[in-house]
């Protein structure tokens, strides 16, 4: 594979009011690269959902976005509580979000399904008490 | 089809933020749950909501909607307006319900 462009972000776990900074920054960068708007939209929504999940459910984490010639790979890694039942978590409408988080418009249980919908590949690795790593891939060709 | 500025003028919708007045609107989506909006709203839509917290600016930007219309007379905080202006997000305000404003503008978008 030829050289790639990497964007790295530490996602702050305390403040989900300011969450989304990584996604907005990546969107700008992808625009600058001249990628198609629909691809940019897919990548930024999938990244934002993952970013918000790390803030709400895992106390923060790290986001890495690699842009290759033929694909964009997003890796979201956290050291949060992990996801006990991934199939259940992937179901539309399943959410463990608190009332406080729900009052801000999150907690519909649609984040993980959106990440799957907007990417071509998605892999969740999670261990209870250790953390979660989600890898997503969007094809450019 | 109508631009955000034209829509705002035609229906006297107050602009809380209008950094992209010439943006054209195509269709709309009504919703307050942010992941539903990100899953269902389409680029260039008018997104009608009663949510006013800061996250609507990020969701509006990432979903690439043409305008956020805040219904029911709800008013966003000043930091939401500042962020929206910075991110190029148009926000219009109306006292009408989400249903009423959707019906009113449906023929134009
Ligand atoms: N990084 C994570 N660490 C631990 N648990 C997670 C993580 N991401 C998701 N989950 C769990 O999976 C559930 C479903 O996630 P999903 O993003 O689909 O919905 P949500 O975040 O609850 O609501 P929404 O995304 O619609 O605002 C969460 O409620 C949470 O229990
Ligand atoms: Mg979520």
Q: ipTM of this model?
A: 0.91
A57 at the B interface (CB within 8 A)? no
The H or E element spanning position B48 is strand B46-49
Q: Which residues line ligand 1 (CB under 6 A)?
A: A 49, 53-54, 56-58, 78, 80-83, 89, 94-97, 106-113, 132; B 35
DSSP B66: S
The tens digit of pLDDT for each residue in B32-72 reads 999 999 999 999 999 999 999 999 999 999 999 999 999 99
Q: What angle do CA A89, A91, A97 make, to 5 degrees?
A: 50
For chain A, the structural domain boundaries read 5-139
User: What six digits make up the tokens of B59?
Assistant: 């969701």
Question: Would the CB atoms of B62 and A114 count as touching at under 8 Å?
Answer: no
Number of domains in chain B: 1
**Across B2-27, average pLDDT:** 98
CATH topology of domain A5-139: Heat Shock Protein 90 (3.30.565)
Give the C-alpha separation, B91 to B100, whole Å.
Answer: 17
Q: Does A119 touch chain B (CB under 8 A)?
A: no
Q: How would residue B2 be classed by pLDDT, with cut points 50, 70 and 90?
A: very high
Q: B64 CB near a chain A CB, below 8 Å?
A: yes
Residues of chain A contacting B34 with CB distance shorter than 8 Å: 104-106, 108
CATH number of B9's domain: 3.40.1390.20
Residue span of the structural domain in which B87 resides: 2-105
Q: What is the pLDDT of residues A26-76, one digit of tens each?
A: 999 999 999 999 999 999 999 999 999 999 999 999 999 999 999 999 999
Could you tell me how many residues make up chain B? Answer: 109
**Three-state secondary structure call for residue B56:** helix
- pLDDT (0 to 100) of residue A2: 58
Question: What φ, ψ does residue B37 adopt, rounded to 5°?
Answer: -60, -45
Q: Are A80 and A14 in contact (CB under 8 A)?
A: no
User: Rounded CA gap, B44 and B79, in Å?
Assistant: 24
CB contact under 8 A, A20 and B39: no
Mean pLDDT of A79-94: 98
């Amino acid at each position: 594979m030829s050289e790639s462009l990497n964007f790295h972000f530490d996602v702050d776990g305390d403040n989900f009011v300011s969450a989304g900074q990584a996604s907005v920054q990546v969107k700008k960068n992808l625009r600058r690269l001249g990628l198609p708007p629909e691809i940019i939209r897919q990548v930024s929504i999938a990244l934002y959902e993952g970013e918000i999940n790390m803030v709400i459910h895992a106390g923060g984490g790290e986001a890495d976005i690699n842009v290759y010639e033929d694909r964009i790979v997003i890796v979201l890694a956290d050291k949060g509580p992990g996801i006990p039942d991934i199939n259940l978590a992937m179901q539309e409408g399943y959410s463990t979000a608190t009332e406080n988080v729900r009052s801000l418009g999150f907690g519909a249980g649609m984040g993980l399904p959106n990440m799957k919908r907007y990417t071509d590949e998605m892999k969740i690795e999670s261990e209870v008490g250790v953390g979660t790593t989600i890898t997503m891939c969007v094809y450019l060709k | 089809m109508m631009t955000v500025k034209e829509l705002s003028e035609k229906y006297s919708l107050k602009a809380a933020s209008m950094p992209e007045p010439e943006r054209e609107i195509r269709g709309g989506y009504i919703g307050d749950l942010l992941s539903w909006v990100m899953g269902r709203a389409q680029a260039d839509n008018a997104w009608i909501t009663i949510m006013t917290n800061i996250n609507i600016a990020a969701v509006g930007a990432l979903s690439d909607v043409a305008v956020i219309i805040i219904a029911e007379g709800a008013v966003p905080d000043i930091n939401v307006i500042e962020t929206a202006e910075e991110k190029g997000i148009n926000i219009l305000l109306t006292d009408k319900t989400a249903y009423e404003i959707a019906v009113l503008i449906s023929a134009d978008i």
